[in-house]
Amino acid sequence: DAGVTQSPTHLIKTRGQQVTLRCSPKSGHDTVSWYQQALGQGPQFIFQYYEEEERQRGNFPDRFSGHQFPNYSSELNVNALLLGDSALYLCASSLGKTGAKNIQYFGAGTRLSVL
Amino acid sequence: AQRVTQPEKLLSVFKGAPVELKCNYSYSGSPELFWYVQYSRQRLQLLLRHISRESIKGFTADLNKGETSFHLKKPFAQEEDSAMYYCALGGQGAQKLVFGQGTRLTINP
């Protein structure tokens, strides 16, 4: 089991562009959460997808959107990139229905740099 | 609102000394607390969660609802404990995790 995989590992974009990040959950997991981790900070929750719908959302603008596919993989899209969007983007997977629902397993992240 | 505070950004102790990483939380409901660790060049991984009441790699953490704390402790630090440690809060029924800013622990030989 490869665990949670994210692609790409690094990305460089310019202001105003759009970006798509991808995540494959750990085998057997059906829930994907996305976090933004700025330098020197802890991860901040962006949103979570379960059964192909956004189940919960953090305090992020509508420029941040996502999608979950039938195979449980997920994408994070960010439109109209700002310099402040530069960060490490983490994907975490978990099981949506069991008592262990809050154990989230993290990917290695995608480092996004906006110039 | 849910909030997690880790008051120490940096903590340095000598090998064999006791370690305590502090974590305080704010949450009106029944919390689920976690400690995640990130070793150098590795991904964030779960160290322990309060409801498991287990000791992992010699670390323990007790949830104190009166003081709203979930401090991480180890009686004898080892060099391989050097890492970034994050305390995280998951509210009951909620799916998101709220993280503290993290504490970088350095164990000196």
Q: How many CB atoms lie within 10 A of CB B58?
A: 13
pLDDT tens, residue by residue, A3-61: 999 999 999 999 999 999 999 999 989 999 999 999 999 999 999 999 899 988 999 99
Distance, CA of B7 to CA of B97 (rounded, Å): 19
| Average pLDDT over all residues of chain B | 92
**CA distance to partner chain A, nearest, from residue B74 (Å):** 22
Q: Which two tokens stand for residue A8?
A: 């790409």
B58, two tokens = 């010699």
Partner B contacted by A70 (CB < 8 A)? no
Predicted pLDDT at A99: 55
Q: Which positions in chain A touch B43 (Cβ < 8 Å)?
A: 4, 106-109
Q: Nearest CB to B101: which of A42, A56, A108?
A: A42
Among A34, A33, A18, A12, smallest CA distance to A86 is for A12
Question: Cβ contact (<8 Å) for B45 and A106?
Answer: yes
Work out the average pLDDT over A74-95. 96
Cβ B99–A42 below 8 Å, yes or no?
A: yes
Tokens matching residue B83: 């890492």
Q: CA of A15, closest CA in chain B: separation in Å? A: 27
pLDDT > 90 in chain B, percent: 75
Residues in A closer than 8 angstroms to B49, CB to CB, are 102-103
Query: Per-residue pLDDT for B28 more than 90?
Result: no
Q: Pick from B34, B95, B99: which is nearest to A48 by CB?
A: B95
Stronger pLDDT, B84 or A2, i.e. the higher one: B84
pLDDT band at residue A103 under the 50/70/90 scheme: confident
What is the amino acid identity at position A10? H
**Among candidates B31, B65, B47, which has minimal Cα distance to B103?**
B47
CA angle B72, B78, B81 (to 5 degrees): 55
Q: Which residue has the tokens 């660790």?
A: B37
Q: Which amino acid is at A66?
A: G
Task: For B31-52, write each residue's pLDDT tens digit.
Answer: 889 999 999 999 999 999 887 7
Pairing label, strands A87-94, A105-106? antiparallel
Residue B95 has pLDDT above 80, yes or no: no
- Shortest alpha-carbon distance between residue A37 and chain B (Å): 10
Percent of chain B at pLDDT exceeding 70: 96
Q: Is A31 helix (H, G, I), strand (E, B) or coil?
A: strand
A36 touches chain B (CB under 8 A): no
Q: Which two tokens stand for residue B48?
A: 């322990």
Name the E strands within A38-109.
44-50, 53-57, 64-68, 74-78, 87-94, 105-106
* B99 touching A (Cβ < 8 Å): yes
Q: Which of A41, A55, A96 sits opposite B101 (nearest CB)?
A: A41
Task: Provide the Cα torsion A14, A47, B72, B21; round to 10°.
Answer: 30
Beta-carbon count within 10 A of A4 CB: 24
CB neighbour list of residue B16: distance below 8 Å, 6 or more residues apart: B76, B77
Spatial separation of the C-alpha atoms in residues B43 and B48, rounded to whole Å: 15
Confidence of residue B94 (pLDDT cuts 50, 70, 90): low
Q: Is A56 touching B (CB cutoff 8 A)?
A: yes
